[in-house]
Amino acid sequence: MAKSSTKANSGKLKGESPIKVPPLPPGSDLPTSFAEPQGSGGETHQSTADAALTMTTQQGVPVADAQNSLKAGPRGPTLLEDFILREKIFHFDHERIPERVVHARGYGAHGVFELTDSLAEYTRADVLSTVGQQTEVFVRFSTVAGNKGSSDLARDVRGFSVKLYTKQGNWDIVGNNIPVFFIQDAIKFPDLVHAVKDEPDRGFPQAQTAHDNFWDFASLSPEAWHMIMWIMSDRAIPRSFRTIEGFGVHSFRLVNAEGKSTFVKFHWKPRQGLQSVAWNEAVKINGADPDFHRRDLWQAIESGDFPQWDLGVQLFDQETADKLPFDHLDATKLIPEEDIPVRIIGTMTLNRNVDNFFASTEQVAFCTANVPPGVDFSDDPLLHGRNFSYLDTQLKRLGGPNFTHIPVNAPRCPVMNFQQDGHMAMRNPIGRVNYEPNSWGAEGGPRENPEAGFVSFPAETQGNKQRIRSETFSDHYSQARQFFVSQQPIEQKHIGDALVFELSKVERVDIRARAVSHLRNVHDDLAATVADGLGMALPDAAKATRPTLDLPPSPALSILGNGPDSFKGRKMGIFLTDGSEAALFTALTDVLDAEGAVWEVVAPKIGGVTLDDGMAVAAKQKIDGGPSVLFDAVAVLPSADGVQMLVKDGASKDFVSDAFGHCKFIGVGANAKPLFDEARVPPELDDGCLPLAKPADAKAFVAACRALRFWPREMTVDLDAASIKKS
């Protein structure tokens, strides 16, 4: 799309006031039941009839500000005395039993991390210092909004959490497949999740943001709109856990032996390349195989095709941080890789599936506060809230304080302290002494170690205690715009399509209008596309605290610009009937095997087919249960007699029409045309449909499949294609 011609893309505002809570829209007054007394008789409570409702704590204490946690200065650390933050998150953490409140649907695997580039110059952490050292890991991938029984292909953020069992204790990099987040302050997390979850009166929709509550929250939260762009992109419907990036989201610190601090952001880069699916395809995958991502990871590891990610870091000092055009402590911002390159320092390989899903994947407990000596925290207020929150969640879910005694959570290094007893204790201190300091000498148990122990970086901080949002957090749209202009045209179209779909499910017209008003601050072409798709007038732009900067594109933000260069690890569906050509089938599977790809035979019957030379071939999928959405590309190779049977079968016609509509590469056998005609796939097949008439054609077909999708086709099969033809 063309760049916006607005003139409000440069300049700075001075002396901005702290972020204010926006007023409630007309007609959205809280119900009177929210003001009912909590006690038992006799109390005098404020009535909604004679005064505005005042928010209170569970103890009835009026709340002046529920948008910002208590900090030491605008950019200072969050203070432990903030009882409002503590109570709000404490209650939120205990809302569900026993599944996780968020990230309930997850899947995990074991593996190993090997360091290839030492960061000893920057950190005391042994795991990041000793080249060649291998560290055991456990990784859990997840969706965020759905429950344990939801489907894998929901449009959602994917959790990407890594537990490294280092020699200096467990280190948890608790991240996502998106490098930014919806909110800037942890005190807003309960509100975000309440808004995104199923609506409480009706209990639906499940694992979806396409409803009034979420978009009401988003349209009243300007800080969310960078993240909105990411979740409306194809990043939110990945092809596989194996094809997503992982991000630590926050800025952390590395601290070296001399006590010097360096800021760091963590990245996991998939060696499999980035890849997503089409939205229509995701909807159908959820019906055909709601465990699509789980099955994919399990089968890849079982087959020995171990997924790998490179660990990269962005390192920068305080001077560099001060020069950035945004605040790196703001979790709604990222640092473009073109500005601070990602330095690759090691590789993680997932090489073992779990022995028992519950024992490992369900009971694993991650916490952002689990860091080894040499890794420390920045003053990101969202990170501070997460550090504070996770222990509450683990106490509720796992039944007591001894969850580190569960094998998947147990450190692989010695654990020595005086903590004892409690629910499900599997170990206790041995001997007479269970306290410190003590005078029992060698029998007195462990002692503090100032040289090897964790020491917090002595960051200087000052400021008044106040609930405030730093002015440096107030640019909400510049990076949202940068993300959009960094996408290739087809990716931009998908963002527009997603926004139209989501907002079309919103019943209140005023919420739709508010949402589109934010888009006008991101990109006028996108706002116009969405307004047109909704059949509404283009609203005025939402009021912004700062003008949107026209930042340069960042190629690293595009999926299509960072895809794989092979078909390795991808899956081909080969549709056969009795009498299909054996020589062609053999040639195709040989090329796929050489490529490192996976293939499955789809047939009219699960018993398989007999080829023209008498060879029996077993089927992995019956056509009714093996639709083309389960594959990255398909080859349709029926015999002349077999195709006459297929043209009468609805599932067979859907197989080719869906593959065509989802822009997949299709190998077209010599006898396949009647099926394509009956499925009403255009007879003038495009360059994404390649002939597979003879064995020699197999090599060229598989080579073409390395591009994964033939996206130009979408311009011919999608009603909304006109939205980007002009771009």
Contacts for 166 with CB less than 8 Å, ≥ 6 apart: 125, 126, 127, 135, 372, 412, 413
Q: Is 94 a catalytic residue?
A: no
Burial (CB < 10 A; 0-12, 13-18, 19+), residue 451, is exposed
CA distance 365 to 385: 17
CA distance 326 to 252: 16
* Residue 387 structure tokens: 């550090």
Q: Which of 68, 170, 176, 671 is catalytic?
A: 176
Q: Which of 103, 211, 293, 518 is catalytic?
A: 103
* Residue 686 structure tokens: 């495009």
* DSSP characters over 283-345: HHHHHH-TTHHHHHHHHHHHTT---EEEEEEEEE-HHHHHHSSS-TT-TT----TTTSPPEEE
Tally of CB atoms within 10 A around 725:
9
Give the H or E element holding residue 151. none
Question: Are 602 and 667 spatial neighbours (Cβ–Cβ below 8 Å)?
Answer: no
* Residue 450 structure tokens: 């100032």
Strands 375-377 and 252-255: antiparallel
* DSSP characters over 472-511: GG---SHHHHHHHHTS-HHHHHHHHHHHHHHHHT---HHH
Strand ranges, E, within 361-429? 375-377
CA distance 177 to 695: 40
CA distance 561 to 276: 12
Q: Is 103 a catalytic residue?
A: yes
Question: Are 311 and 173 spatial neighbours (Cβ–Cβ below 8 Å)?
Answer: no
Question: Are 207 and 154 spatial neighbours (Cβ–Cβ below 8 Å)?
Answer: yes
Catalytic positions are: 103, 176
